[in-house]
Amino acid sequence: MGDIGRGLTRRHFVQVGAAGMLNLTLPRLLRRLDTMELLILDDIGYIKQSAEEAEVLFTLIAQRYERHSVMITSNLVFSEWERIFKEPMATAAAIDRLVHHSTILEFNAPSYRSGSRRRTDGSPANAANNSGGKDR
């Protein structure tokens, strides 16, 4: 059994991987990640990435397909993932590999992080709980 995880952000991975494509170290990085049973990619699609970075991300997903687990969080629905992979074919192929044998959890709730931010700056965490100005 491989490592259960290490600190490597998705953004750092795709940047290092894109550089690795140029100097041929990407295969070594992918082999290192292949020792991990679970890879977590948080906030995929949050930051714009170059076409080279998208290719590295696709390569990672394709390599792990049916071999090791990948957990992804994103605020984007699948129909918006072309922003990530830049090309319709790559987008469809990445989604196909990710959803095959997967469990998808969709949360239709306010962001936890934005709720925490509102509480720390003094404004209400949930405006729906406001009494509308009526005193009780």
pLDDT value at position 123?
Answer: 53
pLDDT digits (tens, 9 = 90+) for 7-63: 555 666 666 665 665 556 778 778 888 888 888 888 888 888 888 888 888 988 998
Q: How far is CA 3 from CA 19, 28, 68, in A?
A: 24, 16, 11
Residue showing tokens 């100097």: 23
Q: Which two tokens stand for residue 102?
A: 């997967």
112 CB burial (10 A radius; 0-12, 13-18, 19+): exposed
pLDDT tens-digit series, residues 60-89: 899 889 999 989 988 899 999 999 998 999
Task: Please compute the mean of the pLDDT values over residues 93-105 and round it to a whole number.
Answer: 94
Domain ranges within the chain, ordered by starting residue: 10-120
The domain 10-120 is placed in CATH, from the list 3.40.50.300, 3.20.20.70, 3.30.70.260, 1.10.3720.10, at 3.40.50.300
